[in-house]
Amino acid sequence: MADQRRSDGGMQDELVFMALGGIGEIGMNCYLYGVGPADDRQWLMVDLGITFPEGENDPGVDVILPDLRFIEGERNLAGLVLTHAHEDHLGAVIELWPRLNVPIYATPFTAALLKTKVTEYGGGVRLPIHEVALDGRFDVGRFDIELVSVAHSIPESNALVIRTAHGTVLHTGDWKLDPTPVIGAPTDTERLAALGVEGVTAMICDSTNALREGRSPSEQDVAQSLAGIIAGAKRRVAVTIFASNVARLRAVADAARQAGRQLVVAGRAMHRMIDVAMATGYLPSNFKYLDQSQFSYLAPHEVVTLCTGSQGEPRAALARVAAGEHPDIKLDRGDLVIFSSRTIPGNERAVGQIQNQLVDMGCELITDGNALVHVTGHPRRDELKEMYGWVKPRIAIPMHGEARHLAEHAKLARAAGVKEVVSVRNGDVVRLAPGVAEIVDEAPVGRLFRDGYLLVPGEEGPVRERRSLAFAGIVVVALPQSARDGVVPDPEIVLDGVPARDAADRSMLDIVRDAVEGTLASIPRKRRQDTEMVREAVRRAVRAAVDHAWGKRPIVKILLTRAAR
């Protein structure tokens, strides 16, 4: 860490902020606040989430998690506070908590959902989850934490007021201004205004919709729109939503009941969310729905089906329905499919494929592009301006957004009168107090990939190799090796993902064989005992020969095998 020293030569006690994920991207949120001198800080972690692979860039990757090497090395971590239960804020907790081994603080709904995930995960993981009350206040080491309820697209979303000896920080989490959120409390604007009077050193604020003018519609507006669409449908209706959006789930259920239809639920994540919402009081204890196995017994005009898979997930219910592979749910010509969601950047191709399959079946589609069937859970520009008007922070740091969102948020904050606006990226260590806010150091950051059952590094390792394989294939050359003569000609060659012939109709196998034999012929017999030198010379020659014939450089592997006596 940077050695920030006072004029008397002692280490300066200070308040710092940094992100291990979530700044410069939307997803994988993981933030750190530190108090103390640079060589002896105590840290607080806020959220520990995942993001999703970006199609062809991450072949075979299931999800992406933040690299925690920095805070693992620091060790003095007081605890982890979760702002809410979305996967991009808590999805990495189960797998990465053993590297931290600290208390976890969450409100009842978030705690219940995390406990359910632990049960499903298995493996004997036991998390020390401390359930805290809505709008509660509690200490985590040297940090005094207060929760402020904010509206979002999942119950019990919270902004955090983080009080320290050096000042107060408002970490907004994900929020919007919605006076009628259907489920849960609206954003506590009175408390936010009171904080502004009390004095806020810095606000670390959501940037997701900083490019969008005006303010977000209410969840109640979407509920009314869905009710009208479902009431007017002639045949089956299928609705896909984010499973975590309990308010939307409730709205679809109410619309089905008002239209005299039965609600059918398909997808494990949807069932899990319903169970947790009922257990925590966000859905009534008598909430009624049918399992997907009952779908075939209902007439087309009797059913509304809630499906997982709004983001094109290949194993989710809607993808299987669109492919005609779902064991229980079938859609036909004239059925209506409502995408009550917005496509997350990077998922456009997968969602588009499912929508095209549904259209080929003869289904009608409604998306947020042609009807009010979805509303964001994040603030637009007018809402951001109101937040700055209430809180009046001395320092603003935009978070939760890509570069373009962060830049527009920074401009808005300056226009709102914020004196110090600091634009940062993951890994930048910002001193918030004392003194002027500035970047004082840089910490290592990165990504971990969940690859099947394993966590592998993002920068190196199997995923990087798979990218190369996807681009230019692989050539494997097995060479016999004798104790007397060293490596000798007579290769076995395997091509995978490489064209069989070049533009002149020469066999690629012959091109590779000629490269191998020519290289070995150029090496004196005595030097062929140097197997590593021979291996590298042959590898380079084969790669160059294929590149000359094809215009691409494949992965080349040279295997040395013991020749029979």
Mean pLDDT by 10 residues, the chain (565 residues): 39 93 95 94 97 73 91 91 97 95 97 94 86 98 98 97 97 97 95 98 97 95 97 97 95 97 95 95 94 95 96 92 96 97 84 96 95 96 98 98 97 97 97 96 92 80 78 90 70 92 94 93 84 92 95 92 63
Domain boundary among 452, 482, 509: 452
Of 400, 402, 426, residue with least CA distance to 71: 426
**Do residues 507 and 426 both lie within one domain?**
no
* Domain assignment of residue 387, yes or no: yes
**Do residues 208 and 274 both lie within one domain?**
no
pTM (predicted TM-score): 0.89
Q: What is the DSSP letter of 5?
A: B
**Do residues 197 and 62 both lie within one domain?**
yes
**Do residues 126 and 174 both lie within one domain?**
yes
Of 507, 506, 480, residue with least CA distance to 491: 480
The residues that bridge with 137 in the sheet, in sequence order, are: 146
Report the alpha-carbon distance of residue 261 to residue 294 in Å, rounded: 13
Strand bridging mode 30-36 / 42-46: antiparallel
What's the pLDDT at 56?
65
* Domain assignment of residue 358, yes or no: yes
What's the pLDDT at 2?
39
Residue 420 backbone dihedrals phi, psi, to 5 degrees: -125, 115
Q: How far is the CA of 9 from the CAs of 3, 84, 262, in angstroms?
A: 11, 42, 73
Report the CATH number at residue 440: 3.60.15.10
**Do residues 537 and 556 both lie within one domain?**
yes
Please give the structure tokens belonging to residue 538.
């042959």
**Do residues 193 and 270 both lie within one domain?**
no
> What strands lie across the sheet with 129-131, from one edge to the other?
129-131, 104-106, 77-81, 42-46, 30-36, 14-21, 428-433, 438-442
**Do residues 278 and 155 both lie within one domain?**
no
Give the chain's end-to-end CA distance (angstroms, integer).
Answer: 61
Strand (E) positions, 172-318? 202-206, 237-240, 262-266, 290-291, 303-307
156, 105 Cβ separation under 8 angstroms:
no
Show the domain range for 530: 462-562
Domain boundary among 452, 477, 503: 452
* Domain assignment of residue 5, yes or no: no
The residues that bridge with 129 in the sheet, in sequence order, are: 104
Which are the contacts of 35, defined by CB distance < 8 A and separation ≥ 6? 13, 14, 15, 16, 41, 42, 142, 143, 164, 165, 166
* Domain assignment of residue 8, yes or no: no
**Do residues 205 and 232 both lie within one domain?**
no
* Domain assignment of residue 30, yes or no: yes
Residue 421 backbone dihedrals phi, psi, to 5 degrees: -115, 120
**Do residues 309 and 350 both lie within one domain?**
yes
Domain boundary among 305, 338, 366: 366
Chain segment 495-506, per-residue pLDDT in tens: 999 999 999 999
**Do residues 265 and 388 both lie within one domain?**
no
**Do residues 392 and 520 both lie within one domain?**
no
What's the pLDDT at 153?
95
Report the CATH number at residue 244: 3.40.50.10710
Which are the contacts of 392, defined by CB distance < 8 A and separation ≥ 6? 196, 200, 417
The domain total for the chain is 3
Please give the structure tokens belonging to residue 26.
């939307």
* Domain assignment of residue 6, yes or no: no
C-beta atoms surrounding 151 within 10 Å: 26
Amino acid symbol at 53 = P
* Domain assignment of residue 362, yes or no: yes
What's the pLDDT at 300?
96
Report the alpha-carbon distance of residue 275 to residue 472 in Å, rounded: 47
What's the pLDDT at 280?
96
Report the CATH number at residue 547: 3.10.20.580
**Do residues 487 and 548 both lie within one domain?**
yes
What's the pLDDT at 92?
97
Residue 140 backbone dihedrals phi, psi, to 5 degrees: -130, 100
